[in-house]
């Protein structure tokens, strides 16, 4: 298995997510935990985290979880449910596999704020190409 430093170096090429502040906290078999600081570039006109920020972090966590050892998965479909408003200065995404088939996989990505409150949930179906 690659070290977390090697994984971070590889995913530094995911410029959109990493330039937004995406950071890999933890990686394991069929899961990842990523985080993103919340600052003025992440909020909307009323001061809440933009929905696209939640989705960007979820997509990054999915990519890390599915591709950290063998980059061969792309997302086919994603659905996001917004569940609340994030509080604090950082949000987290935990991507966990719920189905790992021969050609497809399904992950649920839970987005939480600093206090552990779930603020969004994303379900992503991936396609394995080889």
Query: pLDDT by residue (tens digit) across 100-125?
Result: 999 999 999 999 999 999 999 999 99
Q: What is the pLDDT, as a whole number, of residue 1?
A: 80
Q: Which domain holds residue 70?
A: 4-128
Q: What angle do CA 40, 80, 56 make, to 5 degrees?
A: 40
Question: Which 8-state DSSP code applies to residue 58?
Answer: H
Structure tokens at 33: 């935990």
Here the CATH number for the domain that contains residue 104 is 3.10.129.10
Is the predicted pLDDT of residue 45 greater than 90, yes or no?
Answer: yes
Is the predicted pLDDT of residue 62 greater than 90, yes or no?
Answer: yes
Q: What is the mean pLDDT of residues 82-104?
A: 97
User: How many domains in the chain?
Assistant: 1
Which pLDDT band holds residue 130 (cuts at 50, 70, 90)? Answer: confident
b/e 45-68 (16+ beta carbons within 10 angstroms → b): eeebbeeebbbbbbbbbbbbbbbb
């Amino acid at each position: 298995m690659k070290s977390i430093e090697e994984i971070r170096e590889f995913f530094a090429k995911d410029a959109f997510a990493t330039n937004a502040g995406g950071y890999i906290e933890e990686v394991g078999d069929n899961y990842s935990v990523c985080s993103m600081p919340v600052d003025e570039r992440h909020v909307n006109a009323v001061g809440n985290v933009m929905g696209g920020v939640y989705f960007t972090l979820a997509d990054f966590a999915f990519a890390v979880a599915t591709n950290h050892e063998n980059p061969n998965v792309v997302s086919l479909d994603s659905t996001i449910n917004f569940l609340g408003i994030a509080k604090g200065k950082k949000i987290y995404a935990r991507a966990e596999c719920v189905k790992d088939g021969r050609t497809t996989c399904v992950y649920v990505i839970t987005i939480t704020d600093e206090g552990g409150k779930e603020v969004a949930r994303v379900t992503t179906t991936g396609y394995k190409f080889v």
